[in-house]
Structure 1
């Protein structure tokens, strides 16, 4: 399980990677694509494949589209406990349900920029929502500096951020997402399948954006592969959940960079 609330100042660092910096599009559009999913749900694999395609195409075309797969835990008692599930992600989905006035939770659910939701395998709705999001200017440009730190107190990702003109009552969400994960599912609705998943949220923090700059630290799993991981940051209204700025940066720096 991840620790969604771990923040603080930097302690002595060992085995630290160089800092990498990500800067969101200056005034341009972006799309944060959050999907709530579970390995215990047999309608989720097609949505997972769609999320992979969305992320891959965005990388190829250089588009500011940021994909995040939040694995919820309410399927875990039905035969297969999802190894990536976290109750904090179920809580996050519940907050969206209250904001949308729906009250119900389901998988797969895709949400674009915090305001548009639909069934996660719906390609047409996804394409329409992402295209619309890319035409809307970011009102809070965001920059991240990221460092992968391994030390005596465990492995952490240290994120320094700068947010221009943050709105009142905003929060900064920071996620570590990993690509290329694969595991066999012996029980539950997906029994007998090997699931390959990308964009899996492995650590997440949400902090009040009381100042335009600051630091967030996240505890990350020891098995995280930094070569297949990114850090996504996005600024979100606390009330209506609208996302007003976002960026991402690779966790590992390419050799010679």
Structure 2
């Protein structure tokens, strides 16, 4: 019980919880919208998660609430498509905000800190299947991916995510009219670098320009389990 309370407190106030076995940080994707009146608590929770080294929080703003009076300034149709892809892969018939998807596998209501803590802790106990190393050189990322266990023959994707650590917006219409928010880790670009069969070591160089933060993910297909993640240092 004491361990559980410690984990919950860590999520709520942003203290680090040491990863035990997970290969890289636990990836938490928040599907949110500036037009969603129930999203601010989840947005604030994601902001606190940025203080943790063992968690990689990413905010994907969706566009399907734009019609109710305020067009989300950070929304991308591809974010809605990604959320729908996760729903289809998980056998769910609906999508909603705020929703958090953890490591491409589990979903929780975005503001539920206790359930989120439990799911993060579960993934930290999982033995890594893949090793991901990322080195940044002048204008290039050097990626190396290695299997740590026997993986089924399947298509895995290596992805590069670019995000802005903080973006501030004043909302003048819609359900949150009159509010000002600092949104954390707002995803601006999500691209597939290459595919990988998971059977032998993969080395690849990727052009990388600018100072904007980024992360590299290894995922089963487009909407499957995330097997490894690394921040670009």
TM-score normalised by structure 1 residue count? 0.73
State the match for 2:61 in structure 1.
71
Q: Match of 2:67, SS?
A: coil
Aligned counterparts of 1:217 and 1:231: Cα–Cα separation in 2: 12
1:114-133 equivalences in 2 (<5 Å): 114-133=104-123
State the match for 2:214 in structure 1.
231
State the match for 2:143 in structure 1.
161
1:19-168 equivalences in 2 (<5 Å): 28-29=22-23, 30-56=25-51, 58-59=52-53, 63=54, 65-146=55-136, 158-165=140-147, 167=151, 168=154
Aligned residues between the structures: 206
Cα shift at 1:26: 11
TM-score normalised by structure 2 residue count? 0.80
- Considering only aligned residues, what root-mean-square deviation do their CA atoms show, in Å? 2.4
2:227 counterpart (219, 223, 244): 244
Q: 1:203 and 1:131, CA in 2 relative to 1: closer, same or farther beyond 3 A?
A: same
- Which structure has more relative contact order (CA 8 Å, sep 6+)? It is 1
Cα shift at 1:189: 1.1
Contact 1:203 1:219 (8 Å CA) reproduced: no
Q: 1:89 and 1:147, CA in 2 relative to 1: closer, same or farther beyond 3 A?
A: farther
Cα shift at 1:207: 4.0
- Segments of 5+ residues of structure 2 without an aligned counterpart are 1-18
Q: Match of 1:33, SS?
A: strand
State the match for 2:178 in structure 1.
192
Q: 1:234 and 1:218, CA in 2 relative to 1: closer, same or farther beyond 3 A?
A: same
Q: 1:219 and 1:108, CA in 2 relative to 1: closer, same or farther beyond 3 A?
A: farther
Aligned counterparts of 1:172 and 1:27: Cα–Cα separation in 2: 21
Contact 1:176 1:232 (8 Å CA) reproduced: yes
Aligned counterparts of 2:72 and 2:105: Cα–Cα separation in 1: 27
